[in-house]
Amino acid sequence: MTRILITGAAGFVGRAVAQRFLAEGHEVAGVDCFTSYYDIALKEARVRTLEGQAGFSFHRLDIADGAAVSALFQAFRPEAVVHLAAQAGVRYSLENPRAYTQANVEGFLSILEACRAHPVRHLVYASSSSVYGANTKVPFSEKDAVERPVSLYAATKRANELMAQSYSHLFRIPASGLRFFTVYGPWGRPDMAYYKFTKAIFAGETIDIYNHGQVERDFTYVDEVVEAIHALVGRPPADVVEGDEAPGRVDPSVPHCIFNIGNHTPVPVGEFVAILERLIGKEAKKRLLPMQPGDVLKTYADVDALRRAVGFAPRTTLEEGLARFIAWYRDYHGNKLG
């Protein structure tokens, strides 16, 4: 592959994926519209790390604008698409539901329509562990029924998987969806708990811990996600397979796969806060609160399908990954740490 279009390139995961492909000499067209969901200065700073590198071009556009997306596909002629642009976040979907249908449903349709008009070798797109919703059987497997979302965010991500399935069936678009499990790391997202906790611990402010710390998350270091996407892009699903042996395959007759991507190690949030306290060298002030609407108790990824497909084997421990995050955080926010 030489020409890769990455949506959400000003985002946390998008920046890191773009960097990976640029370092190998690919041509990357990055797309983002800098939504104001969190600090735009951070998104701009991420894009500055990519700008000026050979092969990178940035395109400021809203993916819900189908004509703009189509024009970009026509001009750039991507061979692969890594679609990461979305309205993310579970809790915000209770406040601003339309942001989710606009970016995640309308926006994803633009990407699918563009892939239909300008065929690509592989469309890799972000789904989410939140599709498992109220499921309690762990670890979560791609073969489990996912019909009980507990937030609109989750419902839009599940909708993306179904939309991809139908377009892949109708127009033979090779597509792979990745259900991300709580991705963290340098250049991360300020709306996520690990980032908020870090900020509060440095500032001596109180952190809110839901369900009295009894929530567990399968934290995934960003580089593991980047490596998996990098490996997957070059391995589009075959048009038809015999039986249902191909890992991640939804249906043997449709070139569409869905994979979990997690660390296969759930960690209680209380333990996670203790690691942050050690790394920052300061105790957190904690306020224990009940469970929040829209949240799930535990996430735990079965990653066997991704292991079989691309040899996925996460190696970064939570301590190592958080140490790298804290090092980045000190560097980026240095003058404001107090």
Q: Give yes or no for residue 12 binding ligand NAD (CB under 6 A).
A: yes
For the bound state, the minimum distance from the C-beta of residue 252 to ligand NAD, rounded and expressed in Å, comes to 27
CA 320 to chain centre: 20
In the complex with ligand NAD, the residue whose CB is nearer, 84 or 201, is 84
CB of 180 to ligand NAD, least distance (A): 4
Q: Does 224 bind ligand NAD (CB under 6 A)?
A: no
Does position 33 interact with ligand NAD (CB under 6 A)? The reply is yes
Scan residues 41-60 and list those touching ligand NAD (CB under 6 A). Answer: 43
Q: Does 264 bind ligand NAD (CB under 6 A)?
A: no
Please state, in angstroms and rounded to a whole number, the distance separating the CA atoms of residues 11 and 7: 9
Establish if 218 lies at the interface with ligand NAD (CB under 6 A): no
To ligand NAD, the closest distance from the beta carbon of 95 in angstroms equals 16
Which residue carries 């892009």 as its tokens?
233
**103 near ligand NAD, rule: CB under 6 A:** yes
Confirm or reject binding of residue 301 to ligand NAD (CB under 6 A): no
**Strand-pair category, 216-217 with 267-268:** antiparallel
Q: Which residue is nearest to ligand NAD (CB)?
A: 11
100 is catalytic: no
Stretch in the footprint of ligand NAD (CB under 6 A) among 26-34, 164-172, 256-264, 314-322: 26-34
Beta carbon of residue 10, minimum distance to ligand NAD (angstroms, whole number): 4
Closest CA relative to residue 32, chosen from 64, 67, 70, 62 = 62
Stretch near ligand NAD under the rule CB under 6 A, chosen from 175-183, 199-207, 279-287, 294-302: 175-183
Contacts of 162 (CB under 8 A, 6+ apart): none
11: contact with ligand NAD by CB under 6 A: yes
CA 201/CA 117 separation, integer angstroms: 50
Q: Quick check: 32 binds ligand NAD (CB under 6 A)?
A: yes
Q: Between residues 69 and 250, which has the closer beta carbon with respect to ligand NAD?
A: 69
- Angle, in degrees to the nearest 10, between helices 152-171 and 107-117: 10
The span from the CA of 130 to the CA of 238, in Å, is: 27
Among 64, 254, 280, 305, binds ligand NAD (CB under 6 A): 64
Rg of the chain in Å (alpha carbons) = 19
Do 237 and 174 form a contact (C-beta atoms < 8 A)? yes
107 binds ligand NAD (CB under 6 A): yes
Residue 84 binds to ligand NAD (criterion: CB under 6 A): yes
Q: How far apart are CA 127 and CA 124, in angstroms?
A: 10
CA distance 246 to 308: 9
Could you give the CA distance from residue 333 to residue 320 in angstroms, rounded to a whole number?
20
Distance of CA 289 to the CA centre of its chain: 27
Complete DSSP assignment for 255-269: -EEEEEES-S--EEH
Selecting among 100, 132, 153, 329, the annotated active-site residue is 153
Residue identified by tokens 């070139």 is: 255
Q: What angle do CA 324, 5, 193 make, to 5 degrees?
A: 35
Q: Is residue 294 part of the contact set for ligand NAD (CB under 6 A)?
A: no
Under rule CB under 6 A, residue 161 binds ligand NAD: no
Contact flag: residue 126 with ligand NAD (CB under 6 A) = yes
Is 62 an interacting residue with respect to ligand NAD (CB under 6 A)? Answer: yes
Whether omega before 139 lies within 30 degrees of 0, making that bond cis, reads: yes
Catalytic sites, residue numbers = 153
The footprint of ligand NAD (CB under 6 A) covers 8, 10-14, 31-35, 43, 62-64, 84-88, 103, 107, 126, 128, 180, 182-183, 189
